[in-house]
Amino acid sequence: MLVDETKCIGCGRCIPFCPVQARSFGRAATSGRTVIVIDRDRCAECGVCERAGVCPVDAIHQDLLEWPRQVRSILSNPLVEFKGTGIPGRGTEEIKTNEVTGRVKYGRVGVGIEVGRPGVSTRWTEVEKIAMAVAKLGIEFCAENPITHFMLDKKSGKLDPSVVNEVSLSAIVEFEMAEEQLLDLFRVLREEVDGQIDSVYTFEIAARLRPDGTTTVLKKIQDAGYDMLKVSKNNLGLGRPHFPEEVAR
């Protein structure tokens, strides 16, 4: 994002709208007037400041982003569509369409590790740390996810060096694995990630439920001592399946 110093009157109305606090009062380079300046290193290119429509003189605008800075908007601005997923937003369909696609099957789990949420943001060095830690488990990163797309090596989880210093509101490391590997995943996150990253992450696990509404995944999560939130995301199974129905196990 850019502020047009010739228009900005330095009122500061846009400052609280920035999710990463990249805006502050400063001096215009040419006139010396008080204007709003943007910390370009911190700015995640989410576009909230412009869409909020709070600037009384229309001084905020989105500049044309060059590589690699444009990855910031792909991961931060929900209106920017990533070609790999074909949908706006920073993740994939994940389990939202599982009854149609059959993506997460019995005995498997879908895992999402959203780095930078809630409300912190992240540099991609931290995303890479997590991706490389979990990659050692031999998991399969979701191909449609933007972060997977930006991996130099999808086996090791290493990111393309040209993007690794970029910043976004969040970035999701997304993969599937066997349910039996969950304890190994919990160990890796606790031993190699939790105390090592300079950001936060939200952690989610998706499982296909048996016809009676149960899953053995839940006990594994509880036994591992995770303090689960009481809210969940639930696919109701109303979509038309495009795969053979599985036998519950």
Partner 1 sequence: MTHSLHRRGDVESLKKDFLVLACTAKGFNDDVFAPLGSEFVRICARHKPVNGGDMKTGNLLYVDPETIAQKVSRSTIIEFTFDDKQNVIDTIKELKERDLGISVVISGMIDEVNDIVEKAGLPKVHTREYSLGTHGKTKLLPEWEVLEFTTMCGHAMVASELVKKMIVDSKKGRATHREAAVVMGKCCSCGNFNVNRAVELLEKNAPLWTADYPVY
Under rule CB under 8 A, which residues in 97-116 are in contact with partner 1?
97-101, 104, 110, 112, 114-116
Could you say which of 9, 65, 189, 192 contacts partner 1 (CB under 8 A)? 189
User: Residue 218 CB, nearest distance to partner 1 (Å)?
Assistant: 7
User: Residue 207 CB, nearest distance to partner 1 (Å)?
Assistant: 6
Contact indicator for 170, 74 with CB cutoff of 8 Å: no
Question: Can you point out the beta strands (E) in 41-131?
Answer: 60-61, 108-115, 122-123
Measured between alpha carbons, how far is 156 from 128 in angstroms, rounded to an integer? 10
Measured between alpha carbons, how far is 94 from 48 in angstroms, rounded to an integer? 25
Contact indicator for 206, 95 with CB cutoff of 8 Å: yes
User: Residue 79 CB, nearest distance to partner 1 (Å)?
Assistant: 7
Footprint on residues 149-188 left by partner 1 (CB under 8 A): 169-170, 172
Spacing of C-alpha 166 from chain mean position: 13
Scanning 55-63, 66-74, 84-92, 148-156 for contacts with partner 1 by CB under 8 A, the matching segment is 84-92
User: Residue 64 CB, nearest distance to partner 1 (Å)?
Assistant: 21
Footprint on residues 1-60 left by partner 1 (CB under 8 A): 11-13, 15-19, 21, 46, 48, 51-52
Sign of the dihedral through C-alpha 36, 40, 46, 47: positive
Q: Is 92 in the site for partner 1 (CB under 8 A)?
A: yes
User: Residue 229 CB, nearest distance to partner 1 (Å)?
Assistant: 4
134-151 burial, b at 16+ Cβ within 10 Å, e below that, comes to bbeeebebbebbbbbbbb
Nearer to partner 1, 162 or 214 (CB): 214
